[in-house]
Amino acid sequence: MQDILNAPFVREMGKTTANMYRLGWDERNGGNISMLLDEAEVAPYLDTAKVLRTIPTGFDAKMLAGRYLIVTGTGKYFKNVQDDPETNLGVLRVSSDGKNAELLWGYRDGGQFTSELPAHLMSHMTRLSIDPKHRVVMHCHPTNTLAMNFILPLNEKDVTHALWQMCSECIVVFPDGVGVLPWMVCGTNEIGEATAEKMKQFRLVIWGMHGIYAVGSSLDEAFGLIETVEKAAQVYMLIADKPRVNTIRDDELRQLAARFGVTYREDFLG
């Protein structure tokens, strides 16, 4: 067996979590990531027949039975993942009945997966039905995106339109817009179900007064979606209390979408 600490998926998770912590998106133990893996990726590094522990997921994810994931641990600080991945990450396989996670590696201190795993599994299931290349669910608490929640109506049209106007790349990067949920208790199946429902239309979902979820075919794609939203939100917050002399008009947003050939939410424009 090769050393799993050299596995690309472990190294990528370490780099990504370190960047998210550095950017202030994941204070303390805030935030979580899960990434689907193919058995061919895992097999060179782990004996897939050797299950260390079985952990109930609290959710029936039978659609994902037999699928492998690498998942951040509950209560773990993103700043520590790169230095100690075996304690802060886990490689799981969803059991045949979909109700348990079979731990193959990680959570060395007896810990377990993020409390948001049911929400992740629900979103994975939804996105796979839309995009067969889907792999990643990422959740964090970007500062300016969170700040916008307090001064804008919590609905998709107002939030998306405000973000699109802040930077020319926004309508190109997330032409499908941003889904928005009201404040809800986190760590519950209810918020997971609501998020998965929004994921039918959006790759980004804001949890009101909490944070954001992003999905993608890679860690880079999910990270890049959040990064673009957060830059736009930062610009918005810098000018929110100032008179606006210039802006990107709706007709200019349409020109951008046409130039880059993206299908955008036309109902989010005036």
Give which of 100, 95, 105 is closest to 43, Cα–Cα: 105
Q: Specify whether the CB–CB gap between 147 and 237 falls below 8 A.
A: yes
CATH code of the region 1-115: 3.40.225.10
CATH of 116-270, one of 3.40.225.10, 2.40.110.10, 3.40.50.720, 2.30.30.90: 3.40.225.10
- Strand residues in the chain grouped as ranges (E): 32-37, 53-56, 68-72, 89-94, 100-106, 136-140, 179-181, 204-207, 211-216
Residue 58 has pLDDT above 90, yes or no: no
| Rounded distance between C-alpha atoms, residue 47 and residue 170, angstroms | 43
Over residues 92-97, the mean pLDDT reads 96
Catalytic site includes residue 116: yes
Task: Return the minimum-mean-pLDDT range out of 53-57, 162-166, 174-178.
Answer: 53-57
Q: What is the pTM of this model?
A: 0.96
Q: Specify whether the CB–CB gap between 214 and 222 falls below 8 A.
A: yes
Q: Cα–Cα distances in Å, from 59 out to 89, 95, 104, 127, 218?
A: 20, 12, 19, 17, 24
Structure confidence at residue 175 as a pLDDT band (50, 70, 90): very high
- What does residue 124 show for φ and ψ, rounded to 5 degrees? -60, -45
Say yes or no: do domains 1-115 and 116-270 share a fold.
Answer: yes
Residue 158 has pLDDT above 90, yes or no: yes
Q: Which of 12, 39, 41, 116 is catalytic?
A: 116
| Rounded distance between C-alpha atoms, residue 28 and residue 25, angstroms | 10
SS3 179: strand
Delimit the domains of the chain by residue range. Answer: 1-115, 116-270
- Map tokens 């973000």 to a residue: 163
Give the pLDDT confidence score for residue 210 in this predicted structure.
97
Give the pLDDT confidence score for residue 59 in this predicted structure.
86
Residues 135-157 pLDDT 10s: 999 999 999 999 999 999 999 99
The pLDDT > 70 percentage for the chain reads: 100
Q: Specify whether the CB–CB gap between 53 and 91 falls below 8 A.
A: no
Over residues 217-244, the mean pLDDT reads 97
